[in-house]
Chain A
Amino acid sequence: VTLPTVVTPVRRCADAVRAKVRGLAQLLLEGRGTYARAFENLILTLVIFSIASIGVESIPGLPQWATRALRVAEILVVAIFTFEYLLRIVAARNKIAFIFSYQGMVDLLAIAPFYLLGLDARWLRALRLLRLLRVLKLQTHFLETVVEERTRELAEKNAALEKAQAQLKAELEVARSLQLAILPAAFPARSGCEAAARMIPATTMGGDFYDYIELPDGEIGLVIADVSGHGVPAAFFMAVARTNLRELAVHHTDPGQCLAQTNDALCAQNPLDLFVTVFYCVLDPKSGVLRYANGGHNPPYIRRAAGAVESLSGAGGLVLGAMPGARYPTHTVQLLRGDRLVLYTDGVTEAFNPAEELYGAHRLVDEVHVHGGGTPAALVERICQSVTNFAGSAPQSDDITLTVLTWGAP
């Protein structure tokens, strides 16, 4: 048997014991559990007791038994302080650094006089007052513990907040994709009709939508709408409004009646008092007759083939969802070959630039007048460009939505 094979297990065993002891010491001194707290309280009590005992000892004519009891107590106190001091050395990662630290020196000074000078040294009593420093040290220690605990609580709260915010953001994303998924991908195929649409959602997400509805007899319903407010409630209300309108449009081919029915349906399921502005029209692709009704929405424009721009400003009704029983008159307009219908939401006309000026209806009318001769897609693109150029670095506070339809294009 060679020497290393004997030494290695012994050393390993010693290492394990040392690790265990250090673990226990750390648990007692630095842990947050019941033991650590109890030990800390015990030390503090002993410090206060030993300082008080110095005072009691100095009372003249103290009975013999009391003096003796105090001496025994002093020996016990020093024993416990010594145990604590050694424990701290064991627990310390850097032992030399601990011994020479402020805390280590104070701990040592509290017990050193006893070992150097014995119990009877007359000026020992004065040195024992150094234990006062321990009270201060413990106080600092307590403060540190409290600060540490508060910091930890704060960090936990921050983490919870961050988590909640991430969740909210995820929900907004869902609402936004819901909003986008609801929009129709393509205009129903009809000879002589062509349409294009676009929605640019706002940063805070509004509740704009547009829709094409295939009606009996080959007619096509066209919707553009804007829900009041932002965020998840608006997206939800938009989905409800769109579904209701879609369903009712099939049964009520008169646009005004369709809006009245939709309004009543929305009023009956509107816990948040939201409302939606809706322009709804029905086009007969064969004749070019357009019937429309307006529930508080910006009047669309017709760009005649020659370039003149007219507003579809026939009297409208109240926004939908605000009051049951509202009525919506239906108007009729005859589209001519090559006319374009431009539907939009106020995100277009009420876009702000950094100087806080509105884009305004006049700019929209100009674009429609000058550039409306091409395809619907080209005009939609042109207007969106114009609005985003105008807004520049100003944040987009509302959805921007546009639909352009041409009838009888050659």
Chain B
Amino acid sequence: MNLRIEATGGVTYVEPVGRLDFDAAPGFQEAVERVLSSAGKSSTAVIIDGTGLEYVSSAGLRAFLLAARSAQRSGIAFALCALQPAVREVFELSGFNRIIPVHADRASALAQAQQGRT
């Protein structure tokens, strides 16, 4: 899996492309941790853009859970957006959409993150 990372106006977007399974999860987790630790200086929100995310296994869910926790610890808003239907279903089924905000697109994720800050 590949990661596209893009930081604009205090928000870092992370776009994982491919399958987030048992093999890809550690790399993804590490990358998000790095983004979170460097985001502390410039960004107030990290948004995962799921446009290119084809599949998430339970190990992938765990990576999201750990990332959300670590974002919470560092006081950074953490959200998901633009999930493909199959991935969205995994989040709903596992109940993860109740602990990590899932939005339709970047704009609404950003609006929510900024609202949460004020």
Partner of A273, one of B22, B58, B65: B65
Interchain CA distance A299-B99 in the complex, whole Å: 20
Q: Give the nearest-CB partner of A276 in chain B.
A: B58
**Quick check: B62 and A318 within 8 Å, CB to CB?**
no
Interface string of B85-118 (1 = CB under 8 A from A): 0000000011110110000000000000000000
CA distance A274 to B66 in the complex (A): 10
Residues of chain B contacted by A295 (CB below 8 angstroms): 95
**Complex interface: chain B residues within 8 A of A326 (CB):** 95
CB distance from B57 to the nearest CB of A (A): 7
Q: Does B61 contact A (CB under 8 A)?
A: yes
CB < 8 Å: which of A228, A323, A398 contacts B61? A228
Count of chain A residues near B, Cβ 8 A: 26
CB of B61 within 8 A of CB of A319, answer yes
Would you give the shortest CB distance from B1 to chain A, in whole angstroms?
14
Query: Which residue of chain B has its CB nearest to the CB of A295?
Result: B95
What band does the interface of chain B fall in when counting residues whose beta carbon is under 8 Å from A?
Answer: 10 to 19
Q: A273-B65, A397-B21 are in contact. Are A316 and B57 (CB under 8 A)?
A: no
Closest chain-A Cβ to B67's Cβ sits at a distance in Å of: 11
> What are the residues of chain B within 8 A of A239 when measuring CB–CB?
none
A230, B95: Cβ atoms under 8 Å? no
Question: Complex Cα distance A385/B64, Å?
Answer: 34
Given A296-B95, A317-B95, A318-B94, are A230 and B22 neighbors across the interface (CB < 8 Å)?
yes
B3 touches A (CB below 8 Å): no
> In the complex, what's the smallest C-beta–C-beta distance from B89 to chain A, in angstroms?
10
Nearest residue (CB) in A for B95 is: A318
B59 within 8 A of A: yes
The answer to whether A229 and B93 touch across the interface, beta carbons within 8 angstroms, is no
CB neighbours of B66 from chain A (8 A): 273
CB of A264 within 8 Å of the partner chain? no
0/1 interface trace, chain A 307-341, chain B, CB 8 Å (1 if under) = 00000000011110011001000000000000000
The answer to the question of A277 belonging to the interface, with a C-beta cut-off of 8 Å to chain B, is yes
Q: Name the contact of A275 in the complex, choosing from B21, B57, B65, B69 (C-beta under 8 A).
A: B65
Alpha-carbon distance A204/B57, docked complex (angstroms):
14
The distance in angstroms between the C-alpha atoms of A230 and B23, with both chains bound, is 10
Inter-chain contact A319/B59, CB cutoff 8 Å = no
A293 shortest CB reach to chain B, Å: 12
A316→B95 contact, CB < 8 A: yes
Contact of A397 among B22, B62, B69 (CB under 8 A): B22
Question: C-beta contact mask, B61-83 vs A, less than 8 Å → 1, else 0?
Answer: 11001100100000000000000
Give Cα A226 to B93, complex, Å.
Answer: 13
Is A229 a contact of B58 with CB atoms below 8 Å? yes
The interface residues of chain A lying within 8 Å CB-to-CB of B65 are 273, 275, 322
**Once the chains bind, are A322 and B99 in contact (CB under 8 Å)?**
yes
Which A residues are in CB contact (< 8 Å) with B21? 397
Given contacts A322-B65, A322-B99, contact A296 B94 (CB under 8 A): yes
Pick from B57, B69, B96: contact of A319, CB under 8 Å: B96
CB distance from A271 to the nearest CB of B (A): 13
Contact at B61–A318, with CB atoms within 8 Å? no
Interface string of A264-303 (1 = CB under 8 A from B): 0000000001110100000000000000000111110000
* B93–A228 touching, CB < 8 Å: no
A350 within 8 A of B: yes
- Complex CA gap A229/B99 in Å reads 20
Contact yes or no, B95 A228, CB < 8 A: no
A316 to B66, alpha carbons, bound, how many Å? 22
Contact partner of B22 among A229, A299, A317, A322, CB < 8 A? A229
Q: Which 10 A-B pairs have the closest CB atoms?
A: A318-B95, A228-B58, A296-B94, A228-B62, A296-B95, A319-B94, A229-B59, A317-B95, A230-B22, A322-B65
6 contacts between A and B (CB under 8 A): A229-B22, A273-B62, A274-B62, A318-B96, A322-B95, A326-B95
Given contacts A228-B59, A273-B62, 7 further A-B contacts (CB under 8 A): A228-B61, A229-B58, A229-B59, A274-B62, A275-B61, A316-B95, A319-B96
* B residues with CB within 8 A of A: 21-22, 57-59, 61-62, 65-66, 69, 93-96, 98-99
